[in-house]
Structure 1
Amino acid sequence: MAESAVKAVVGNVSNLAVRETSFLCGVTNEVGFLKDELKRLKCYLKSGDAKWRSGDERVATWVSQIRDAAYESENVLEVADYMEKRNRLTRGFMGAISRYARLPSDLITLHKVGAEVQRIRRKISEIFDSANRLNIDLDTSVLDKGHVEDVFPREYGLMHQNFKDDAVIFGFEDEYKEIVDKLVDKENNTLSAISIVAMGGAGKTTLVRKVYTSSRVERHFDTIAWVTVSQKFKGIDLLRDIMKQIMGARDDFQMHEYEVGKEIHDYLSKKRFLVVLDDVWETDTWEQINKTVKAFPDVANGSRVLLTTRKQDVANHIQMPTHVHPLKKLDEKKSWELFSSKALPSYNRFLLCDVDEFEELGKKLARKCNGLPLALAVFGGYLSKNLNKDTWCDILLSWPSTKDGQMMRNILARSYNDLPDHYLRSCFLYVAAFPEDYEISMSDLIELWIAECFIPHTPKHKLEETARKYITELAQRSLVQVVDTSRAHGWIERIRIHDILRDWCIEEAREDGFLDMIDKTACHMGASSSDSMISYRASFQNLSDQVLQPATPNLRTLVGFELSSISLPKLRFLRVLHMANSNLKNLSLAIGGCIHLRCLRLTRCENVALPSSIGKLLYLQIIDLRKTKLDSMIPDTLWDIPTLRHVYLSTAFSSPRSVQQKDLQTLWLTCASVGTKYCYHDLVTFLEKMRQLTTLFLVMRPMHVEMLNIFAYMPHLVDIHLANFGVLNKLPESNHFPQRLRHLYLEADVIELDPMPILEKLPCLVVLELSGYEGRIMSCSAQGFPRLQELKLDRFSIKEWRMEEGTMPKLSHLKLWLCKKMRKLPEGLLHLPSLKNLKLISKPLISGDDTTLKELERRGCEVER
């Protein structure tokens, strides 16, 4: 991982604005020398890293020194670059003085930069000398280029493949049906439990998640909740999580355990409920949750508790009638089906001339996984990237005789070390910063990866495209689990990581000095394994009422989840601050001087006040304040930051008259009101300058019709979400919409004219969501919606839907919500060749005897009512 640090730094240094510039005086030459030294260091790393992993502790110290020098170099070079950026942006008389005469403060800073560069160069020289003393065989024959080539194989033309959770498909069909039947059993009205018990990696959580999200279960229970318990937990935290899920309540850190339990009890007394307790380790868990008040009442309505555990005594201990279901390992046939789907997927099979020989070897290798789905999936994913018979034979012959737990670790280490480059290894380890069982948004994760410089520049690819390939690679290797894919774009939208893989990543990240995990409700405490490998990244979880104390004042990344009354320290070298569901103190002081900050993400947080000096954070790429309570207005200086690419705000702001930043890609804004008409005009004027936007998400009241006219200034938009229009009398003509548009959401109190004749002409539209049309007739022509796959209609008052044959040839999902005047489904639905799913929500007045509905069901279309 030290190799990752230095390579990322050298790549970054080449992009810095520190060039031949008179203002840097003699520092320019020093900077050039330092860049050369870093390149030389990078060539030393591969052999040093390998020796360290073989157990040589002296090399561990040496590798750590390389990483520290690389990070220190980046910090000092960015200080010089920052001065250049700041002075170019400074306006007026003082700006002229600072640009041409040099202020004394600048001269002092330059002197410090020069001295620091010389100190680091001496440090690097000492590193080279120590390498010679340690007799480390260092190969310096090849210097890396400024970018990397695309390392991925040709199947990345298949990037938008369909990822599925295979555990239910391969081997658990009978268990799935049995558990669902027991949950919805109407003859058993007493509060009862089902405990699923098996070792780690056997598929417990995956199976229960399928059960939990099944349509039968969702229809049967009034309310459902899922909590992950883990090895250490606090009863109050579990109860708060359950309350938030069933009642939609915000985190309230002031409520005591009895109060939370009583609220849950009173609410569930009127409901048939299902509560899932996943990954329970201790026999007294149930008592801990119910110690102050019985949170889950038995009102004889068939409510259920579903529990997963690795321990038989825990499965039997819950204090209510309990059915214990031991989950069996996969038999040899099912093991091979799962293994072959990963090791020999269809896009690989056609490349092989001797598939039969691979299958013969594969069946022997599959047996080594002892029927564990996780081992089969990860090992199969690894072998899919190594389609070589000699490699498969060597693995089979050298397979160690180990127990299941060690076998899983060996497979994970093998798959991790086989990742194509150090960038991807960094991206994978970074996932461990998120809580157990956490659903990770890929757009959020990709923004973090880019802010961390984990995504290399490759020819003809945007950074986001390369990052999408990375996550596809991890999914194909079964190192992450795909939760959801975007129908509009075809890419992976949300992921999670299995707890066994996450635990392994945490251990590996600590060993490498890559990331420290501090979690008081799990077994992840302390610092990295070696004093010489201090981590520059830290993830804090489930802490309260304290000042965060990172292991190093040079911390570059601070991630936090569920932190109550936390005081943030001052961290001058911070690059990423990512906080969720937390109550923060001292934020303004903590980030006021963080000139290196790239990402400021504070979602669902409280007590947040941005410093007025935020406009001085000239490297900031991402600011995300979704669902966060701000104690102050957004400073206008935010829009002076030239590097901003993604902005997410849940509060009003005053639109600046002029902005430096015109390359924004994402603008996500929700606010109750934009104020006066004059303020609204300023907002429109402001938005018209955002010519590079790809995503526009606006929710405000009122949303003026004029907002639809801004599309003419945004040709690159692919995602549009506009809500809270009053009356929309007419949409713009189709040629006024961005022609690359793939996802459109429009919500109005009233849409007066049929929107379909306009929207059906958009050539790339894949997902369309409309709300509020009050016309009597809606018409779709024969050539309309050539690429539409998903259509959602809400609060439509139409009585007749006319559909010409040939319209919507690719529509697969249709959702009708509160379309109360529609008495029958249009016969035109029968001409949609791709329709697979129809949802009728809130009981439209469509009879179960509707001939179109019955014919759709007969053809295999899934109908949900």
Structure 2
Amino acid sequence: MAESAVKAVVGNVSKLAVWETSLLCGVTGEVGFLKDELKRLKCYLRSADAKRKSGDECVATWLSQIRDVTYESENVIEAADYMEKRNRLKNGFLGAISRYARLPSDMVTLHKVGVEIQRIRRKISEIFDSANRLNIDLDTSVLGKCCVEDEFPRGNDLMDQNFEDDVVIVGFEDECQEITDRLVDKENNTLSAISIVAMGGAGKTSLVRKIYTSSRVKEHFDTVAWVTVSQKFKAVDLLTSIVGQIMGARVGFNICECEVGKEIHNFLLQKRFLIVLDDVWETDTWEQINKMVKAFPDVANGSRVLLTTRKQDVANHVQMPTHVHHLKKLDEEKSWELFSSKALPSYSRCAVCDVDEFEELGKKLAKKCNGLPLALAVFGGYLSKNLNRETWINILLSWPSTKDGQMMRDILARSYNDLPDHYLRSCFLYVGAFPEDYEISVSDLIELWIAECFIPHTPKHTLEEIARKYVTELAQRSLVQVVSRSRAHGWIERIRIHDILRDWCIEEAREDGFLDMIDKTACWDSASSFERTLSYRASFQNFSGQILQATTPNLRTLVGFELSSIFLPKLRFLRVLHIENSDLENFSPAIGGCIHLRCLRLRRCGNVTLPSSIEELLYLQIIDLRKTNLDSTLPNSLWNIPTLRHVYLSSAFSSPRSVGHKELQTLWLTCASVGTKYRYHDMVTFLRKMRQLTTLFLVMKPMHAKIMNIFAYMPHLVDIHLASFGVLDKLPESNHFPQSLRHLYLEADVIELDPMPILEKLPCLVVLELSGYKGRTMSFSAQGFPRLQELKLDNFSVEEWRMEVGTMPKLSHLKLWLCKEMWKLPNGLLHLPSLTNLKLVSKSPIS
């Protein structure tokens, strides 16, 4: 009986290939046709966007129809492709049985795909028929060029130039001096405030940043803190941020506002402090911050509060002696100085003929910006990409006579429309999905852009390289502001977008149906937007309850911040899910069937359970669960997803015995105390298979020294962060480290042997952070660390520190946390030719 059953199964499986072929042949040709149509549709979307800008409602409607059918085409093509991918993963006899078992459902799916393709073909035909009836010029001459993926436009070889990041790099010298004098005035010992008032884009924040980072301010005040208030804020969040800045302490999630306020009050009793409140909108902000407890004591030592606002009544309404400073616009000379630094930067002047003529035109154009730094910076950035005499003349002659607000909008629209391609325009609008004054991680943003398919494939560059060029392009045009750079890599690390630019992005994105913003605290109303224009991307902020209705079944992107008890519906076409600081409901059922999902990012979220079927998400590229506690264990099937590239996990982790996927680029794991049951050899075996990693961030308590043996199997590593070792007896030899390594962080309770003779031989190391070495000697040889620029040593002490002349020739930043046993620094510090920043921090407790 059993034998006949087996023969029956084998016989049926042998017929499966024939059945699959007959089923697939019926739709393969249709899918191929639809792929060709999809290319044609995307070309029309690119070439016809200018026609929509003309205000023709017929063209706008037609483009909206093309966009809709384009997304529908992508969905159905991917549904067919998904079946093929899934079946390819099932090999051998058992795989054939699995495919055979799924055959009935696959037949139904293939039938639906075929029917859907026929419907889309009819819809496409109707769209182009309507274009002919409406006499819409389709401009078919561009199709041949459009169907080829774009190379990076203009400046393909442009490196990440060391352009000035700040919006205001000149001007306000007198005002900077005046405000600084008031801050450090030793005759006024009472707690007092300075309010800086000006319209948006006038340079308030940049001026205060200059003052805040000046040496006079740093030397005068014992402690400083900066918080951005914005239109929506929670007092406890501001206070928590201040605690982190002045005390270096992390505050738990459930701590109350009163307790945080008391911590600040007690710490500041013996300190002269400066608190900056940037971008204040409400008159009662100071009262709200001090509502539960008076966090900022007046101990008659000259402490100060410095705030910026657009509103006069806010500037006057602070419950302490206040000086109101009205920020002036830049005069003609300073306007030209700022404008020319953007429009004619030093790295492009050498390629410009007749610079004098451009300067003459530029001075006239700078006057049009009416002394507003943001307008000068954005307009100058736009002209720097259009170094053409006729262009400058035409702009000057056609300049409209408008007020400041409309002038800023005209400049933004001009700069946006001048972005080299539709990819970069999409990338810029996408920045509007983040909250006001949010510091955006460029690495996070790039991963989102790639998941959204905003970055074109080119033969000479990786997607990440093109994306970083896009960030640089936006920064050079002053469309985004640079917050920080990576010293290890030189690229832009964090950005933010000015409120005015963000508001413009949101409005433009809504008009295009590109993105909808729903923010309950900033009066962004979603209902009318969804009814007016179907949006395929949505950003929800400060929201609770059921966030999406049946009117948005085709949503491709869902971004969320500060969502409370959110119930997620099933969104079967979802490609990007990025949610932070939120509590989710119904997560596992909602996400289980999202076969199109590329990015799953949940940061600091609660009530999250991953579905056991997560391995069926065959397009998933990114899973980011940092600081999110899962309600269940991580399914080991995650590691079988073939497209997975970036993994970030912050929960208990057990390495799987077998791993089907070995192409990860980023692995970020933090594990709690793993105890004696943890199998380190399983972890080492698991990690050895990740041969394509470029970034490894691994924190385990305790970390086993054997983990260090994995480096020989990871030749492409560029960034390594390992903590927390107990005793680290020795490091691998330098030739066992990845030779491309640029950033190394090692933290241990005890590092027994001097690590420098090994680490100094790494040829590409730029940043080294080391904690835990307490030995007799520490030696730096004359040829050591040829490219090191930043060195941080924590929890270390040595009896003898040797530093030969010629070591670390490029070191510019040195930070030392000194133990009480450490009392002597090496004379070799005096011979470091590039050292510009030395910081010594005492490890002794603060009295």
User: What TM-score results when the alignment is normalised by the length of structure 1?
Assistant: 0.90
Q: Which residue pairs with 1:397 in the alignment?
A: 397
Q: Which residue pairs with 2:62 in the alignment?
A: 62
Residue 576 of structure 1 aligns with an amino acid whose one-letter code is V
Distance 1:655 1:724, change over 3 A: same
Q: How do residues 630-645 of structure 1 correspond to structure 2 at under 5 angstroms?
A: 630-645=630-645
- In the alignment, the residues of structure 2 paired with residue 832 and residue 266 of structure 1 have an alpha-carbon distance, to the nearest angstrom, of 41
Task: Check whether the contact 1:229–1:238 (CA below 8 A) recurs between aligned residues.
Answer: no
Q: How do residues 133-152 of structure 1 correspond to structure 2 at under 5 angstroms?
A: 133-141=133-141, 142-144=143-145, 147-152=148-153
Residues 68-111 of structure 1 show CA distances to partners (whole Å, capped at 9, x for unaligned) of: 10111111111111111112223675521344686101111111
- In the alignment, the residues of structure 2 paired with residue 44 and residue 507 of structure 1 have an alpha-carbon distance, to the nearest angstrom, of 23
**Structure 1 range deviating more: 401-410 or 221-230:** 221-230
Q: Give how far 1:235 is off.
A: 6.0
Residue 229 of structure 1 aligns with an amino acid whose one-letter code is S
- In the alignment, the residues of structure 2 paired with residue 199 and residue 354 of structure 1 have an alpha-carbon distance, to the nearest angstrom, of 36
Residue 251 of structure 2 aligns with an amino acid whose one-letter code is A
Q: Which residue pairs with 1:850 in the alignment?
A: none
Residue 113 of structure 1 aligns with an amino acid whose one-letter code is V
Task: Check whether the contact 2:651–2:671 (CA below 8 A) recurs between aligned residues.
Answer: yes
Task: Check whether the contact 1:528–1:534 (CA below 8 A) recurs between aligned residues.
Answer: no
Residues 433-453 of structure 1 show CA distances to partners (whole Å, capped at 9, x for unaligned) of: 011111100100000000000
Q: Which residue pairs with 1:748 in the alignment?
A: 748
Q: Which residue pairs with 1:130 in the alignment?
A: 130
SS of the residue corresponding to residue 777 of structure 1 reads: strand
Q: Which residue pairs with 1:589 in the alignment?
A: 589
Q: Which residue pairs with 1:159 in the alignment?
A: 160
Residue 335 of structure 2 aligns with an amino acid whose one-letter code is S
Task: Check whether the contact 2:330–2:372 (CA below 8 A) recurs between aligned residues.
Answer: yes
Residue 338 of structure 2 aligns with an amino acid whose one-letter code is L
Q: Which residue pairs with 2:265 in the alignment?
A: 268
Q: Which residue pairs with 1:760 in the alignment?
A: 760
Q: Give yes or no for the alignment of 1:229 onto 2:230.
A: yes
Q: Which residue pairs with 1:12 in the alignment?
A: none
Q: Which residue pairs with 2:26 in the alignment?
A: 26
Distance 1:181 1:613, change over 3 A: farther
Q: Give how far 1:54 is off.
A: 1.2
Q: Give how far 1:57 is off.
A: 1.3
Distance 1:37 1:593, change over 3 A: same
Q: Which residue pairs with 1:321 in the alignment?
A: 321
Residue 403 of structure 2 aligns with an amino acid whose one-letter code is K
Q: How do residues 160-559 of structure 1 correspond to structure 2 at under 5 angstroms?
A: 160-167=161-168, 169-214=169-214, 217=217, 220-222=221-223, 224-230=225-231, 248-252=250-254, 260-261=257-258, 263-265=260-262, 267-271=264-268, 272=271, 273-287=273-287, 289=289, 296-526=296-526, 531=531, 533-549=533-549, 552-559=552-559
Residue 265 of structure 2 aligns with an amino acid whose one-letter code is L
Distance 1:694 1:194, change over 3 A: same
Distance 1:736 1:550, change over 3 A: farther
Task: Check whether the contact 2:516–2:529 (CA below 8 A) recurs between aligned residues.
Answer: no
SS of the residue corresponding to residue 467 of structure 1 reads: helix
Residue 685 of structure 2 aligns with an amino acid whose one-letter code is T
Distance 1:149 1:225, change over 3 A: closer
Distance 1:162 1:50, change over 3 A: closer
Task: Check whether the contact 1:538–1:550 (CA below 8 A) recurs between aligned residues.
Answer: no
Q: Which residue pairs with 1:682 in the alignment?
A: 682
Q: Give yes or no for the alignment of 1:613 onto 2:613.
A: yes
Q: Give how far 1:236 is off.
A: 6.8
- In the alignment, the residues of structure 1 paired with residue 243 and residue 563 of structure 2 have an alpha-carbon distance, to the nearest angstrom, of 18
Distance 1:801 1:162, change over 3 A: farther
Task: Check whether the contact 1:556–1:574 (CA below 8 A) recurs between aligned residues.
Answer: yes
Q: Give how far 1:174 is off.
A: 3.4
Distance 1:560 1:318, change over 3 A: same
- In the alignment, the residues of structure 1 paired with residue 678 and residue 312 of structure 2 have an alpha-carbon distance, to the nearest angstrom, of 67
SS of the residue corresponding to residue 320 of structure 1 reads: coil
**Structure 1 range deviating more: 420-429 or 39-48:** 39-48
Residue 490 of structure 2 aligns with an amino acid whose one-letter code is G
Q: Give yes or no for the alignment of 1:651 onto 2:651.
A: yes
Q: Which residue pairs with 2:783 in the alignment?
A: 783
Residues 245-266 of structure 1 show CA distances to partners (whole Å, capped at 9, x for unaligned) of: 77633444xx8xxx62564256
Q: Give how far 1:706 is off.
A: 0.8
- In the alignment, the residues of structure 2 paired with residue 338 and residue 672 of structure 1 have an alpha-carbon distance, to the nearest angstrom, of 51
- In the alignment, the residues of structure 1 paired with residue 134 and residue 598 of structure 2 have an alpha-carbon distance, to the nearest angstrom, of 38
Residue 639 of structure 1 aligns with an amino acid whose one-letter code is W
Q: Give how far 1:55 is off.
A: 1.2
Q: Give how far 1:570 is off.
A: 1.6
Q: How do residues 703-718 of structure 1 correspond to structure 2 at under 5 angstroms?
A: 703-718=703-718
SS of the residue corresponding to residue 64 of structure 2 reads: helix
Distance 1:613 1:331, change over 3 A: same
- In the alignment, the residues of structure 2 paired with residue 633 and residue 85 of structure 1 have an alpha-carbon distance, to the nearest angstrom, of 27
Residues 466-519 of structure 1 show CA distances to partners (whole Å, capped at 9, x for unaligned) of: 000000000110100011111111111000011111011011001111111111
Q: Which residue pairs with 1:575 in the alignment?
A: 575
SS of the residue corresponding to residue 70 of structure 1 reads: helix
Q: Give how far 1:364 is off.
A: 1.1
- In the alignment, the residues of structure 1 paired with residue 730 and residue 345 of structure 2 have an alpha-carbon distance, to the nearest angstrom, of 49
Q: Which residue pairs with 1:563 in the alignment?
A: 563
SS of the residue corresponding to residue 774 of structure 1 reads: strand
Distance 1:780 1:470, change over 3 A: same
Task: Check whether the contact 2:235–2:257 (CA below 8 A) recurs between aligned residues.
Answer: no
- In the alignment, the residues of structure 2 paired with residue 503 and residue 270 of structure 1 have an alpha-carbon distance, to the nearest angstrom, of 38
Distance 1:22 1:776, change over 3 A: farther
- In the alignment, the residues of structure 1 paired with residue 606 and residue 201 of structure 2 have an alpha-carbon distance, to the nearest angstrom, of 37
SS of the residue corresponding to residue 667 of structure 2 reads: strand
Q: Which residue pairs with 1:858 in the alignment?
A: none
- In the alignment, the residues of structure 1 paired with residue 241 and residue 805 of structure 2 have an alpha-carbon distance, to the nearest angstrom, of 49
Unmatched tracts of structure 2, length 5 or more: 1-19
Residue 316 of structure 2 aligns with an amino acid whose one-letter code is N
- In the alignment, the residues of structure 1 paired with residue 152 and residue 359 of structure 2 have an alpha-carbon distance, to the nearest angstrom, of 27
Residues 107-130 of structure 1 show CA distances to partners (whole Å, capped at 9, x for unaligned) of: 111111111111111111111111
Distance 1:160 1:384, change over 3 A: closer
Task: Check whether the contact 1:40–1:140 (CA below 8 A) recurs between aligned residues.
Answer: no
Q: Give how far 1:842 is off.
A: 1.5
SS of the residue corresponding to residue 796 of structure 2 reads: coil
Task: Check whether the contact 1:796–1:820 (CA below 8 A) recurs between aligned residues.
Answer: no
SS of the residue corresponding to residue 542 of structure 1 reads: strand
Residues 246-299 of structure 1 show CA distances to partners (whole Å, capped at 9, x for unaligned) of: 7633444xx8xxx62564256425425544333233434445555666555545
Distance 1:166 1:64, change over 3 A: closer
Q: Give how far 1:456 is off.
A: 0.3
- In the alignment, the residues of structure 2 paired with residue 643 and residue 591 of structure 1 have an alpha-carbon distance, to the nearest angstrom, of 17
Q: Give yes or no for the alignment of 1:811 onto 2:811.
A: yes
Q: Give how far 1:234 is off.
A: 6.2
Count of matched residue positions in the alignment of Structure 1 and Structure 2: 819
SS of the residue corresponding to residue 436 of structure 2 reads: coil
- In the alignment, the residues of structure 2 paired with residue 569 and residue 237 of structure 1 have an alpha-carbon distance, to the nearest angstrom, of 30
Q: Which residue pairs with 1:15 in the alignment?
A: none
Residues 32-54 of structure 1 show CA distances to partners (whole Å, capped at 9, x for unaligned) of: 12122223323433554222221
Distance 1:457 1:664, change over 3 A: same
SS of the residue corresponding to residue 199 of structure 1 reads: coil
SS of the residue corresponding to residue 775 of structure 2 reads: coil
Residue 230 of structure 2 aligns with an amino acid whose one-letter code is V
- In the alignment, the residues of structure 1 paired with residue 109 and residue 649 of structure 2 have an alpha-carbon distance, to the nearest angstrom, of 35
- In the alignment, the residues of structure 2 paired with residue 290 and residue 798 of structure 1 have an alpha-carbon distance, to the nearest angstrom, of 46
Q: Which residue pairs with 2:10 in the alignment?
A: none
Distance 1:524 1:470, change over 3 A: same
Residues 642-701 of structure 1 show CA distances to partners (whole Å, capped at 9, x for unaligned) of: 111000011122211111111000000111234446621111100000010000011111
Unmatched tracts of structure 1, length 5 or more: 1-19, 846-865
Task: Check whether the contact 1:233–1:521 (CA below 8 A) recurs between aligned residues.
Answer: no
Residue 541 of structure 2 aligns with an amino acid whose one-letter code is Q
Distance 1:427 1:498, change over 3 A: same
Q: Give how far 1:153 is off.
A: 3.2
Q: Give how far 1:190 is off.
A: 3.0
What is the root-mean-square deviation of aligned Cα atoms in Å?
2.5
